[in-house]
Amino acid sequence: MGCCGESVAKPNDQYNNRGQPPQQPSVVTQQPGYHPGAQVYEKPPLLTPTTPAPPAPIHQPNPAQPVNPNTLGQLPWGPHVPGSPSPPPQGGFQFQHGMPPSANVPMMSGFPAMPNAAYNPANGPVQHNLSGSAVFSSPPLHPNPAHVPPRHMSTSPSLSTTITNNAGEFGKVLSNEGRMSISIDFGTTFSGVAYASSRIHSGTIQQILRWPGSFETFRKVPTCLLYDEHGQVMAWGLEAKNASPMPGTYRCEWFKLFLEPRALRDENAVDSRLPQLPPGKTAINLIVDFLSCLWEYAKEEITREIGSVADLNTADVILTCPAAWDAKGCDMMRAAAIDAGLVQSAHAGDANWRDRLQIITEPEAAAVHCARLTDLHKLRPSQNFMICDAGGGTVDLAVYKITGQMANLEIAEMCARSGANCGSLFLDLRFRELVRTLLADHPAHLDPASLAYFMHAFSQTDKLEFKGESDDETYFHFTCFNVDDPHDPSVGLINGELAIPGTLIRREVFDPVVNQVLELIEDQSRRVDQRIDALLLVGGFAGSEYLFKKVEERFSTRMRVIARPSDADTATLRGAALYGLSRKLVVSTVIAPRSYIMKVKLPAEPEDWIKRPAYIKENSASVPICENRLQYLVVKGAILRKGQRVKTKFCKFSQNGQDWNFVAVLYTSDTDKIMRYTDEGETMELCKWTVDLSTLPSFRQNASVPQPNGFYTEFELGLEMDSAEVRGVLFYEGQEWSRVVFDFFN
């Protein structure tokens, strides 16, 4: 995600504020500009592996500990620790609303899928026997007998878990050799579009460089909208950014930050410094409007460049999102992209057209770009590197291990991704607050137009080139927009300019934001118990001289390489296009950034009688059942192969043929703590999981015959996880039957 840079035509004069007043801000030119690598991206040949990649799920023995590739094949469930959840038993099903009549045993509402197979990024794939099943060195799963009742007719049956790979979904190989791949880096401050096809320029990545409102070429365009008083879009991008203030209009920026997880959970958590949304508009409305404008213009530009070589209505579209976003934010982004027309049905019978839209995290896209650079900064197989994607709004981090040979490259995530709102935009906001503080007694310079003028001058000239301590004695001069009240040396107003010492700018503007980025990198490195050989900074904020200097000072003794790769400001955009074009996965495994949990009812255990006796009730068979228990489908830190599905067997009791909906609540947790009960306070309701069973053959057969005592339907539910999105899948007799509807909570 880029945030700033220079245009093609603009010379790279440093410190323009020092010797001369800033240029008039009538035209925004501070964006990633063209350079020789902007249009041609040489793609090394991608070799298809000779053997299929194995499934690779594991769960860490302790999610609070970092992933240790030397123990990835071990299973997480050992002797029972008081307060921990029950380990998954073997075999059987989960039940809702009762047990099969023949069993006369208690009912459960859900149970977790806990994989018992592992893939070790350090040691390579597991071996396969002749039947195609994986052979693992870890012992069979044996739950603690004290935790799981014996398997006989008076107790609950237990769980059977299946792990599958789904090569046809996330990160899927393009079935049409000439299909177009279009990537959109929708950024907080700037956005860009890139595209590629094997039939165009030998598959090299192309970027849109010409934008409405300028004769110059830019690699990105401001994420900005201008509305009239009726809520209609008047302008977007450069034209909206450069528009003069007009009565009755609303200029909207930075609205992507409204989808940040805390903001979605609590509207009071929205940063108060962000602009107010126009009346009657939501953040999603703004995102749809901006993506619509961007997409329509992109289609015109691509068509103008390549003619009718590719059918844009059948193109794969790859959209990036911050690493810190949860499944709800990604789902809202997907819905907005579809409403904006990024994908649509191309012909009659095109039932899977929505699958042409893929959402991946920004650090993963950047990692794909960096992984294809020449010799990846001299890294070798089994070495680790960190991506720090420092953009305009967010800074996202991820650590990867090179698992394959460089000629057939694969990389695997080593720990859960992280991110925070500490991009270069927050330098602008802090600078604005500094100006307000300095000129508190001079309100003539604090009107919106004057503040915007000061922020523009700071962003255009000094934000990226500021060097820190070496600039402490330098005064930075900013021309005042308002000619009234031009002189007060006590606050730095001298002859119509505001002079601010470098030491004040460093202390009040840069250090708080830069230190937050340093702590993010520090925290991410602590999650990996192995050496990190390289730190690669990408994104527009990575161009900050002060940020790069502080990163080098802090980490150069621990990381052999600290570098800004070529095209660092558009690494996410270009990597996303390459992701869509590739004929094989580059990022082979991902780490679950949070836990996914279901509320269940289980036979009461001694620990439940001690800790939560109020939750224990006898069912119709006089068996004590503990309600409000939690069972983990996926534990935070679990290693998941891309496209992998974690499946759990269920059984639903239906009173009659009209009772076909199975409904469960899916929870998430960002904590490393393993919880046992719903009242432990660190879970969040993510969505309702609604499954329509009416089309299953077994349900239809049972529903067709009157059964006064009701009937049972057996099925499987699967969580399909990628770097950004989570989907539900209904399975019947081992085959995918349909997709499951997630109803995300507000």
Q: Are residues 136 and 114 in the same domain?
A: yes
Q: Look up residue 14 and give its two tokens.
A: 């440093």
Q: Are residues 352 and 488 in the same domain?
A: no
Q: What stretches of 543-674 show up as alpha helix (H) in DSSP? A: 545-555, 571-581, 606-611
pLDDT at 91 over 80: no
Query: Of 296, 343, 301, 316, which Cα lies nearest the Cα of 206?
Result: 301
**DSSP string over 614-626:** GGEEE-TTS-EEE
pLDDT at 232 over 60: yes
- Nearest-5° Cα angle at 269, 268 to 274: 95
CA 646 to chain centroid, in Å, comes to 20
Query: Of 509, 572, 510, which Cα lies nearest the Cα of 536?
Result: 572
Evaluate whether residue 44 is within a structural domain.
Answer: no
pLDDT at 164 over 80: no
User: Which residue is associated with the tokens 């990160």?
Assistant: 171
CATH number, position 533: 3.30.420.40
Q: Are residues 640 and 503 in the same domain?
A: no
User: pLDDT for 378-403, tens place per residue?
Assistant: 778 888 999 999 999 999 999 998 88
Which of 332, 360, 388 delimits the end of a domain? 360
Distance CA 214, CA 649 (A): 58
Evaluate whether residue 267 is within a structural domain.
Answer: yes
pLDDT at 259 over 70: yes
pLDDT, mean of residues 668-693: 87
Least confidently predicted of 125-129, 376-380, 409-413, 513-517: 125-129
Q: Are residues 280 and 418 in the same domain?
A: no
pLDDT at 526 over 60: yes
Q: Are residues 152 and 242 in the same domain?
A: no
Evaluate whether residue 405 is within a structural domain.
Answer: yes
pLDDT at 406 over 70: no
Q: What is the pLDDT of residue 167?
A: 40
Q: Are residues 186 and 288 in the same domain?
A: yes
Mean pLDDT of the chain: 75
The set of residues, in sequence order, having a beta carbon less than 8 Å from that of 63 and lying 6+ positions away, is 595, 635, 636, 637, 638, 672, 674
Evaluate whether residue 38 is within a structural domain.
Answer: no
Contact 170, 358 (CB under 8 A): yes
pLDDT at 684 over 70: yes
Evaluate whether residue 192 is within a structural domain.
Answer: yes
Which element (helix H / strand E) includes 294?
helix 283-306
Least confidently predicted of 137-141, 231-235, 240-244: 137-141
Q: Grade residue 308 by pLDDT with cuts at 50, 70 and 90.
A: low
Higher pLDDT, 369 or 153: 369
**For the CA atoms of the chain, what is the radius of gyration?**
28
Q: Are residues 305 and 266 in the same domain?
A: yes
Evaluate whether residue 680 is within a structural domain.
Answer: yes
Contact 423, 141 (CB under 8 A): no
**What residues does 634 pair with on adjacent strands?**
596
Query: Of 337, 509, 525, which Cα lies nearest the Cα of 431?
Result: 509
Least confidently predicted of 37-41, 59-63, 702-706: 37-41
Evaluate whether residue 264 is within a structural domain.
Answer: yes
Distance CA 447, CA 500 (A): 19
Q: What is the pLDDT of residue 109?
A: 37
pLDDT at 736 over 50: yes
Q: Look up residue 527 and give its two tokens.
A: 């999650």
β-pairing, 595-603 vs 661-669, is antiparallel
The set of residues, in sequence order, having a beta carbon less than 8 Å from that of 147 and lying 6+ positions away, is 80, 86, 87, 605
CA 408 to chain centroid, in Å, comes to 26
Least confidently predicted of 255-269, 337-351, 565-579, 688-702: 255-269
Least confidently predicted of 41-55, 270-284, 313-327, 618-632: 41-55
Q: What is the pLDDT of residue 512?
A: 96
Q: How many CB atoms lie within 10 A of CB 141?
A: 17
pLDDT at 21 over 80: no
The set of residues, in sequence order, having a beta carbon less than 8 Å from that of 262 and lying 6+ positions away, is 269
Query: Of 476, 456, 457, which Cα lies nearest the Cα of 466?
Result: 476
Least confidently predicted of 77-91, 334-348, 387-401, 428-442: 77-91
E-state strands within 495-546:
497-501, 534-538
Q: Grade residue 412 by pLDDT with cuts at 50, 70 and 90.
A: confident
Q: Are residues 548 and 662 in the same domain?
A: no
Contact 93, 146 (CB under 8 A): no
How many separate domains does the chain show? 3
* Boundaries of domain holding 734: 69-169+593-744
pLDDT at 404 over 80: no
Distance CA 225, CA 232 (A): 10
pLDDT, mean of residues 354-376: 84
Higher pLDDT, 172 or 572: 572
Q: Are residues 659 and 724 in the same domain?
A: yes
pLDDT at 118 over 90: no
Distance CA 582, CA 48 (A): 10
Distance CA 576, CA 368 (A): 7
Q: Grade residue 29 by pLDDT with cuts at 50, 70 and 90.
A: very low
pLDDT at 244 over 90: no
Q: What is the pLDDT of residue 265?
A: 65
CATH number, position 310: 3.30.420
- SS3 call for 545: helix
CA distances from 238 to 30, 243, 284, 563, 583 (A): 11, 8, 21, 31, 36
Q: Are residues 233 and 200 in the same domain?
A: yes
Report the C-alpha dihedral over residues 136, 407, 199, 211, rounded to 10 degrees.
100
User: pLDDT for 470-479, tens place per residue?
Assistant: 989 899 988 8
User: Which residue is associated with the tokens 């040489």?
Assistant: 42
Q: Look up residue 418 and give its two tokens.
A: 């992280």
Q: Look up residue 57 and give its two tokens.
A: 């799920």
Give the global pTM: 0.71
Q: Look up residue 170 and give its two tokens.
A: 């996330």
Where does residue 138 rank: exposed (0-12), middle (13-18), buried (19+ CB within 10 A)? middle
User: pLDDT for 4-13, tens place per residue?
Assistant: 444 444 433 3
Which of 513, 545, 565 delimits the end of a domain? 565
φ/ψ region of 234 (left if φ > 0, alpha if ψ in -120 to 50, else beta) reads: alpha
User: Which residue is associated with the tokens 């110059």?
Assistant: 216
Contact 686, 326 (CB under 8 A): yes
Query: Of 372, 368, 374, 425, which Cα lies nearest the Cα of 395?
Result: 425
Distance CA 36, CA 49 (A): 33
519-537 core/surface letters (b: 16 or more CB in 10 A; e: else): ebbeebbebbebebbbbbb
Distance CA 223, CA 191 (A): 6
Which of 308, 332, 360 delimits the end of a domain? 360
Q: Are residues 104 and 183 in the same domain?
A: no
pLDDT at 154 over 70: no
Evaluate whether residue 572 is within a structural domain.
Answer: no
Q: Are residues 518 and 651 in the same domain?
A: no
Q: What share of the chain is helix, strand, coil (3-state, %, to 5)?
A: 25, 25, 45
Q: What is the pLDDT of residue 245?
A: 80
Distance CA 78, CA 676 (A): 16
Backbone angles phi and psi of 90, in degrees to 5:
-95, 145
Q: Grade residue 234 by pLDDT with cuts at 50, 70 and 90.
A: very high
Q: What is the pLDDT of residue 580?
A: 86
- Nearest-5° Cα angle at 251, 247 to 252: 150
Helix and strand totals (H; E) in the chain:
14, 33
Position 191: which residue type? S
Q: Give, as one character, the DSSP assignment of residue 118.
A: -
